[in-house]
Structure 1
Amino acid sequence: MFGGGDSEPPPPVHASVDQPDFVDPDKIRPPDQYGTPLTRPDGSRIPLFDGDPTREQTQQGAIGDCWLISTLGAIAGHMPEAIVNSVRETEDGNYEVRLNAVERSKKSASWVLTGGEIVVTVTPDLPVYSDNPEAAAFADVSRTGVAWTAILEKAFAGLDQTWTQERKDRWLEFRGINDQAAPPEGYVRLNGGKVMDKTEILTQLTGLPARSDSIATERDPLTGKPADRQVIEEFRRLLDENKPILVGSKFPLKDEPGLTHHVEAGHAYEVVRVDERGQIHIRNPHNANHPLPMSIKEYRRNFSTNYVTLE
């Protein structure tokens, strides 16, 4: 945490996010323009919220930011008040997003609060395709009926405006990029997998410390408890404590068996339940094509050993 005692928290960092760069055209068909899909044909606007936020109101669009959308869905599913407290509509028709300022811990791989805030002003226009300007190209707003997911997605797309050079250098090191002076910006930066740490996003939105951990792979030497049982009990404990569990599927090598249970390779998911039979239930941030419930052995086949949660 920040200094403590009589130390003053750092002043808020402000940013204005208008029209962040589109996604990399080399990877997918990019949108053609910015539009106003939040405005309905009758002139009314899709509401920011419709009751408490839910994970079902998060739906990934035509951009590879499953890591972000699954995190937003997990927070909505466990701590909807954190979403409500982070974003509001302003009198001028824009949105204000307030995030906790964080920094990399010097003692661990986690992120810690600095005591400051990041205040992001987000305009309501969103990327669209010219042949379907009524629909947002990225996080869905028409089927979900709410705007908060798309507004938070846009805020995170523009968050690089607040990055220091040290933060940019760390991003490049994290991605193993050595031949460019700066990261891509806007939605381009969000596209294509693990480009930001999910623990960072959890801490920014909830104000609570998060951690990345690995599931058990060996029998506990003290208790003799089998590895599979350890994982099931740990997932149940975390869910009982209302803590998100974010996981990622594998990229099978050519000589390895393919993924099963409708799991997409290299995709971020959320563990939402472990039932009485020990079957693990997992949510796809596309809001469809969810994996079939699977045993812990089937889970090990399909998913990496790492997961992210709150401490």
Structure 2
Amino acid sequence: MGFKGFDPVKLKGLADELDGLAQHSGGLHSRLATVLTTAQQNLPPGQSASRDPDLQNLVGDVVPIPFFGRMRLPGSLAGELGDMQSSMKRRITQLESLQKFADLGYPVDQSVVFLDEKAPDGKKVDDALKDLKALNGEDFGTNGNRDDLEKVNAELSGLTSAELDALFTKADPADLSRYNALLNNTDDSWLNPFDSNGIPENDRRAVLGNLLSKIGADNMSKFTNAFPGVQPIFTNSEAYKNGGNSQNGQNNSGIHWQVPTDPLFNGDVSADDINQRQFGDCWFVSSLAAVAQKDPQFIKDGIKQNPNGTISVRVWDKSGNYQWVTMTPDLPTDTNGNPLSTYGNGDTWSAYYEKAFALTYKDENGQSGYGGIEGDDPKKSAPFLTGHDGSDLTRSSGFLGLGTSEDKRFSSMKAAFDSGKAVTVSTPDDEGLDKNHPAEWGGTYHSNHAYYVRGFTPDGKIILGNPWGVSNYPPITVTQDQFNKYFQSPEEYDVP
């Protein structure tokens, strides 16, 4: 058996067979088209030679002409089989180059064996290891260490997955930790206010995210130990400190990180997939649900799974620029394996959007992590989700505070929703309303909470969704008078 259990000779033989099939598929196309055309000519009018639409389209296409003919199956197999065998051969070349790489003493992770990459270069790994170690005690000069760090960043970012994984296997943990400390320390020297040290946060996150997206599974823990900033903390959250969420009554024990077994998507994206659990970030989750309600494809396009299992989520910054934030695939979980972060109905995309937000958002005290996203205004999350600021409908429409009736809020919300915008609302911080509200709302209504607009009834009532999940907290229908008493702060968000 060959390298890592694969036999390059047999794989090349299979690729050659596919290539041969591709070369003969055009002839098969013509022969099949001839048979179907003859059959069609002998059938009564109105009857088809085949019930299969693709095969029926071959009638009369006896000599397919590239770029002009229909080029349907099986004629199109020429291109498909050709692409397949070409891709296989590239990966076989990669497999053979990795075997030589391993023979020279460089470790090779199983996950990089069939990646479509250039052949690994041991010298690039050795040079990067040397430059990492050289950061120890180096005199960075009067201009600070930023240019030196940028050189190392470019060096590491230019490594293939196989090279990077070999580097991490060989790297001294102390060298990696020193590199991380230097990246994060952006203070200027008081002796020289013109020096530049460390790497700005967005640039640092981009570099580490790129590395994380390529690292092998066996080195994932070594990576997160060296660069703890790629993992948001949960120990600063009320959910951790109090053992659960007091609003929805969910409790936890033994909170820890664990990789879920559910896929990223379980069917189409829907606001119904969202179920805020332990963390008190309804203001963000309601915004996420509102955007998913209006444009599911936008949400789906903003998240992807990398070949090594890590997840990248598209996040905007306050300047309106977006970047892909890459994170490890593990999520906060309790002792029994139950998810503690926002989760879905058999899918995990909402949990990773929340995790990306916990990584990038800082509250007014500069706190990040899951504690940093607990308790805030829904419109503050809009720029991170969509790149557009959220707006207070009552203020942007000039309704309240200027002598205009509260009832105008209903028409402004409907106008915003009908124009394609996502809309959220909040409830007052008045625990008395938790018992004194319409009985038909049941446990769906809660004070000091955020909701998202799902639509409007024909008779003018508003339909609100609770981000705690529609299965246990079904949407509620609210009249204009009820809204004025039990809800406040309608806000809108543009969805690109």
TM-score normalised by L of structure 2: 0.46
Per the alignment, do residues 242 and 58 of structure 1 end up closer, same or farther by CA in structure 2, a change over 3 Å counting? same
CA contact (8 A) 1:126 1:136 kept: yes
Unaligned runs of 5+ in 1: 1-9, 40-45, 104-112, 173-181
Per the alignment, do residues 256 and 32 of structure 1 end up closer, same or farther by CA in structure 2, a change over 3 Å counting? closer
The answer to whether residue 71 in structure 2 is matched with residue 71 in structure 1 is: no
Per the alignment, do residues 253 and 49 of structure 1 end up closer, same or farther by CA in structure 2, a change over 3 Å counting? closer
Aligned positions, number: 254
Per the alignment, do residues 259 and 214 of structure 1 end up closer, same or farther by CA in structure 2, a change over 3 Å counting? farther
The answer to whether residue 205 in structure 2 is matched with residue 21 in structure 1 is: no
The answer to whether residue 467 in structure 2 is matched with residue 285 in structure 1 is: yes
CA contact (8 A) 1:214 1:307 kept: yes
Q: Deviations over 1:277-301 (max 9, x none)?
A: 1211110001132453121111111
The offset of 1:101, in angstroms, is: 1.9
The answer to whether residue 263 in structure 2 is matched with residue 47 in structure 1 is: yes
Distance 2:260 2:275 in 1: 15
Aligned to 2:456: 274
Aligned to 1:137: 340
1:126 to 306, 331, 354: 331
Aligned to 1:247: 425
Per the alignment, do residues 309 and 18 of structure 1 end up closer, same or farther by CA in structure 2, a change over 3 Å counting? same
CA contact (8 A) 1:248 1:307 kept: yes
Distance 1:274 1:283 in 2: 12
SS of 2:464's partner is: strand
Per the alignment, do residues 129 and 269 of structure 1 end up closer, same or farther by CA in structure 2, a change over 3 Å counting? same
TM-score normalised by L of structure 1: 0.72
The offset of 1:257, in angstroms, is: 8.9
Aligned to 1:294: 478
Per the alignment, do residues 218 and 212 of structure 1 end up closer, same or farther by CA in structure 2, a change over 3 Å counting? closer
CA contact (8 A) 2:315 2:356 kept: no
Per the alignment, do residues 258 and 121 of structure 1 end up closer, same or farther by CA in structure 2, a change over 3 Å counting? same
Distance 1:253 1:286 in 2: 18
1:188 to 352, 367, 371: 371
Q: Deviations over 1:175-205 (max 9, x none)?
A: xxxxxxx52x3112223x21xx433422322
Unaligned runs of 5+ in 2: 1-201, 210-229, 245-251
Per the alignment, do residues 152 and 253 of structure 1 end up closer, same or farther by CA in structure 2, a change over 3 Å counting? closer
Per the alignment, do residues 289 and 219 of structure 1 end up closer, same or farther by CA in structure 2, a change over 3 Å counting? same
1:151 to 326, 334, 352: 352
Greater radius of gyration (CA) = 2
The offset of 1:53, in angstroms, is: 1.2
The offset of 1:49, in angstroms, is: 1.9
CA contact (8 A) 2:424 2:452 kept: yes
Aligned to 1:82: 298
Per the alignment, do residues 12 and 188 of structure 1 end up closer, same or farther by CA in structure 2, a change over 3 Å counting? closer
Aligned to 2:124: none
Distance 1:154 1:190 in 2: 10
**Matched AA of 2:446:** E
The answer to whether residue 317 in structure 2 is matched with residue 101 in structure 1 is: yes
Residue correspondence of structure 1 range 154-169 to structure 2 within 5 A = 154-160=355-361
Distance 2:392 2:312 in 1: 29
More helix by share: 2
Per the alignment, do residues 158 and 297 of structure 1 end up closer, same or farther by CA in structure 2, a change over 3 Å counting? same
SS of 1:97's partner is: strand
Per the alignment, do residues 219 and 213 of structure 1 end up closer, same or farther by CA in structure 2, a change over 3 Å counting? closer
Distance 1:101 1:256 in 2: 36
More strand by share: 1
**Matched AA of 2:340:** A
**Matched AA of 2:415:** R
Distance 2:334 2:378 in 1: 29
